[in-house]
Structure 1
Amino acid sequence: MSEPTTGPRSVLVTGGNRGIGRAIAEAFLAQGDLVAVTTRSGGAPDGALELKADVTDASSIDGAFADAEAAHGPVEIVVANAGITRDTLLLRMSEDDWADVLDTNLTGSFHVVRRAAKGMLRLRRGRIVLVSSVVGLLGSPGQVNYAASKAGLVGMARSLARELGPRGITANVVAPGYVDTDMTAALSDEQKAAIRDRVPLGRYASPAEVADAVTWLASERAAYVTGAVIPVDGGLGMGH
């Protein structure tokens, strides 16, 4: 069903050039929204405003928002999706392995939502969606850094929901499970089969299925949903 709207909205998606982020950007574009995408390496979807930016650099993010606002007006919907992994077992995990993942996934999201909130507070409306992971709820061996960063997004969103809710701004989390992307394509057939065996629905998600949850949270139908964690994981993390 197409999303009823009073006009195109200004949307910014971080890490929107590939995988889940690209699918999210494309879903908003399909609804007729004005979409800006931050990327470090280029390759934004057709129709999106491409902004070279690094979420770990607050000044870089400030500049990206300024460019998006100049082109599309104040950002009404922000999706903090940019993230990295540096997987290794705890005793082999270096200080850089830890810091790089936390700086990108958690501190980077802080930079994005802090800048987005400035405009949303003036508008007295806005939607913040943070892309977490089932790993942030379940944990995973070899992903202490990644799981910690993704769990932190839940606390961030719930604090934002309480702080910004009185001004008409919602903050929610989408927690994907295993998704069919370039990252999972690199796994061996045996690894893929082992993962599918753990998922009640017996398959990976498509990036578009994650995007559907994000666009719903940004829609009028979700106007009374805030501080929520929406799993898109085929049942893998149920109970968490």
Structure 2
Amino acid sequence: MKEILITGASGGIGRAIVKDYVKNGNRVYAHYNTNAASIQDLQKDDPEADIFPVQANLAEKDGVEVLTEKVVEVDTLILNAGNSYFGLLTDMAGDEIDAMIQLHLTSSIKLAKHYISSMVQKKQGSIIVVSSVFGVTGASCEVVYSSVKGGLNAFVKGLAKELGPSGIRVNAVAPGYISTEMNARLTEDDEHDLMNEIPMGRSGTPEEVASLISFLDSNQASYISGQIISIDGAWQ
């Protein structure tokens, strides 16, 4: 049994990751900020599962400290917490920019810094980041989101090199358009146009992203590290 910390576990992709891990008998620390009901529903769906809710606001400067006081050590760290902002950069308030950088980038780096100490001692462990295709290609009207995801991709590349000698793997998955509540803002016409851009002609599912993450954390992927793996239906 492995101990897994999943940040942003209350969202669509996060919930799918939790379900994938607990079905294999792992203990999962399911982080959330405000949506406790989502984690409680997961517990109700599988009362026998080892799911432990952990609340912390990672958009705040003390969020990492709050979280690490509750979860001291893990075998796998999955950095999935995040949000998006759709609009012009000139319309973003300064505190909105600061919060997005703190949530996506600063908190992820600090969480990794905390948990890699025990991983290095054991000479094993895995860190997986949920990035985005926009972190690779960039996106108009999602400039800051693209920036923080791009920063995470560079973080993965650098940290994988640093931790490779200790037997710890660091990877990222870069989802394209996935059917989640965060993407539900699109109108029917916008979604139709988007489907025409995606060669496979459909959106991805949270379960498909979760399956890729499970593979990257498995022994079958023991020689994969420092990679940003897109899961986007050949969109980008």
Q: TM-score, normalised by structure 1?
A: 0.89
Q: Is the 8 A contact 2:4 2:74 kept in 1?
A: yes
* 1:75 match: 74
CA–CA distance in 2 between the matches of 1:63 and 1:96? 21
Q: Is the 8 A contact 1:55 1:111 kept in 2?
A: no
CA–CA distance in 2 between the matches of 1:108 and 1:85? 16
Letter in 2 for 1:217: L
**Identity rate, percent:** 31
CA–CA distance in 2 between the matches of 1:38 and 1:26? 14
Q: Is the 8 A contact 2:63 2:107 kept in 1?
A: no
* 2:154 match: 155
Give the direction of change, closer, same or farther, for the CA distance of 1:100–1:64 in structure 2 (3 Å limit).
closer
Listed as ranges, the gaps of 5+ residues in structure 1 are 1-7
Q: Is the 8 A contact 2:61 2:102 kept in 1?
A: no
Letter in 1 for 2:116: A
Q: Is the 8 A contact 2:60 2:103 kept in 1?
A: no
1:39 matched to 2:32? The reply is yes
* 1:183 match: 182
* 2:104 match: 105
Listed as ranges, the gaps of 5+ residues in structure 2 are 44-48
Which aligned pairs between 1:186-225 and structure 2 lie closer than 5 A?
186-225=185-224
Q: Is the 8 A contact 1:56 1:111 kept in 2?
A: no
Give the direction of change, closer, same or farther, for the CA distance of 1:57–1:94 in structure 2 (3 Å limit).
closer
Q: TM-score, normalised by structure 2?
A: 0.91
Which aligned pairs between 1:1-240 and structure 2 lie closer than 5 A?
8-41=1-34, 42=36, 43-44=38-39, 45-46=42-43, 47=49, 48-57=51-60, 59-69=62-72, 74-237=73-236
User: How far did residue 236 of structure 1 move?
Assistant: 0.8
CA–CA distance in 1 between the matches of 2:174 and 2:83? 15
CA–CA distance in 1 between the matches of 2:91 and 2:230? 30
User: How far did residue 139 of structure 1 move?
Assistant: 1.3
- Where 2:71 maps in the other structure, the secondary structure is helix
Q: Is the 8 A contact 2:31 2:55 kept in 1?
A: yes
Q: Is the 8 A contact 1:124 1:168 kept in 2?
A: yes
User: How far did residue 220 of structure 1 move?
Assistant: 0.4
CA–CA distance in 2 between the matches of 1:147 and 1:76? 29
Provide the alpha-carbon RMSD of the alignment: 1.5
Letter in 2 for 1:14: T
Q: Is the 8 A contact 2:123 2:167 kept in 1?
A: yes
User: How far did residue 55 of structure 1 move?
Assistant: 2.1
